Amino acid sequence: MNISHKRELKVALLAIVCGFLLFYGFFFLKGVNIFSSSNDYHGVYASVGGLTEQAPVLIKGYKVGQVNHIHYDFTQDNAFIVDISIHKDIVLPLGTEMRLVANGLLGGTAVELYLPKGQSASYHNGDTLPTVVVPGLVDQLQTGMLEDVDQAVIEAKELLAHLNNQLAGDQLKHSLTHIEVISSDLQDVSARLKVIMANQVPGMVNHADSMLANLDEVSSAIRDAHIQNTISQIDTAVAYLNAVLAEVNSTDGTIGKLVNDSSLYVNVNAAIVSADSLLVDLKANPRRYVHFSLFGGKDKSDKKKK
């Protein structure tokens, strides 16, 4: 092999290496690792919301693949077919959803894979997955702001219509007339209050001062009264009353015996019973106790008895 053939071989090898590096660098910049095996899946969307090729594919926020290609056919309702590739060792159970989600605050879009639990069967390479579009934070804020703006516009229109009706009718004139009447009444009331403050209030203040002076005199009289002597007399009366009550409770005195001795009650009760029996007998046989004769002679009944 001569020198020229060696040079051609070196150039060929260099071209092959450069071509491989260019090929690998191209896919590396696209985020595709050509040395790792992967599975491909598809999803159909009516709108991709700014999704681009090489966008990340995430599971619980962790990147497991990327979007390889986006096919579109605008004559269809679901115009976009999104191809994704993920690591081959990841198994997608049946019911896995391809969700379009916001990726950051700058408006980027990514594919989030939602894996259901409790499924034993799984999808195979090349299957089409069910799709869901999840609105991002910016979209939600925009939607809420648009709703608020629409409501504010509606309320402003209603307010303007109400004001136009008020201006078109006589209600505004009536309101202004009532305001003028109220203002006039307030002026009259203010003038009367000024008169009262100038004429009657000083007399009322003087009368109040006199009342306060009288109250001061009354309080001084009460303070100077012989309250201590009165209290001493009350204490003496209470002491006498306690002595009388002690005499009543004692069994030595006459009152104590009458109050505390039960024999008095028994004797009195017996005397009452005897008196009652005597009166009954007196009514039944009055001649036993009363002897009356006009001529002073004895009763015939007594002669017969003899």
pLDDT of residue 98: 94
- Residue 112 within a domain: yes
Confidence at residue 166, expressed as pLDDT on a 0 to 100 scale: 67
Of 113, 134, 155, which residue constitutes the final position of a domain? 134
Do 140 and 184 fall into the same domain?
Answer: no
Pair of tokens at residue 197 = 């403050």
What mean pLDDT is predicted for residues 94-101? 92
- Residue 85 within a domain: yes
What residues contact residue 62 under an 8 Å CB cut-off, 6+ apart?
none
Which residue range forms the structural domain that includes residue 40?
36-134
What does the pLDDT average to over 3-30? 72
Residues facing residue 63 across a β-bridge: 58
Let me know whether 153 and 126 are in one domain.
Answer: no
pTM over 0.85: no
Average pLDDT over residues 70-77: 90
Q: At what angle do helices 137-168 and 171-224 cross, to 10 degrees?
A: 100
pLDDT at 305: 46
Q: Is residue 289 part of a domain?
A: no
125 Ramachandran zone, left/alpha/beta (phi>0; psi -120 to 50): beta
45 with 127, same domain: the answer is yes
Whether residue 158 has pLDDT greater than 90: no
Q: Is residue 286 part of a domain?
A: no
267 within domain boundaries: no
Of 223 and 188, the one with more pLDDT: 188
Q: Per-residue pLDDT for 35 more than 60?
A: no
Are 66 and 122 in a shared domain? yes
Q: What is the mean pLDDT of residues 276-294?
A: 73
Has residue 288 been placed in a domain?
no
Shared-domain flag, residues 47 and 96? yes
Please give the mean pLDDT across all residues of the chain: 78
Helix (H) or strand (E) holding 82: strand 80-87
Q: Do 69 and 114 have their domain in common? A: yes
Least confident residue range of 67-81, 222-236, 249-263: 249-263
pLDDT of residue 145: 60
Residues 157 and 219 in one domain: no
Predicted local confidence at residue 57, as pLDDT? 93
Strand partners, 72: 80
Q: Please write the tens of the pLDDT for every residue from 171-217.
A: 666 777 788 888 888 888 888 888 888 887 777 877 788 888 888 88
Residues 6+ apart with CB under 8 A from 18: none
Residues 106 and 42 occupy one common structural domain: yes
Span 98-125, mean pLDDT?
A: 85
Helices (H), 250-261: 254-260
Q: Tell me what percent of the residues of the chain surpass a pLDDT of 90.
A: 17
Domain identity same for 5 and 66: no
Task: Tell me if 196 is assigned to some domain.
Answer: yes
Q: Looking at the structure, do residues 31 and 42 belong to the same domain, yes or no?
A: no
Rounded to an integer, what distance in angstroms lies between the CA atom of residue 139 and that of residue 151?
18
Q: Among residues 187, 204, 225, which one ends one of the domains?
A: 225
The domain tally of the chain equals 4
Domain assignment present for residue 2? The answer is yes
Q: What is the pLDDT of residue 196?
A: 81
Rounded to the nearest 10°, the torsion over CA 244, 245, 248, 253 is -40
Q: Which helix (H) or strand (E) holds 88?
A: none
| Beta-carbon contacts of residue 191 (< 8 Å; ≥ 6 apart) | none
Could you tell me if 101 and 140 lie in one domain?
no
**9 and 28 co-located in one domain:** yes
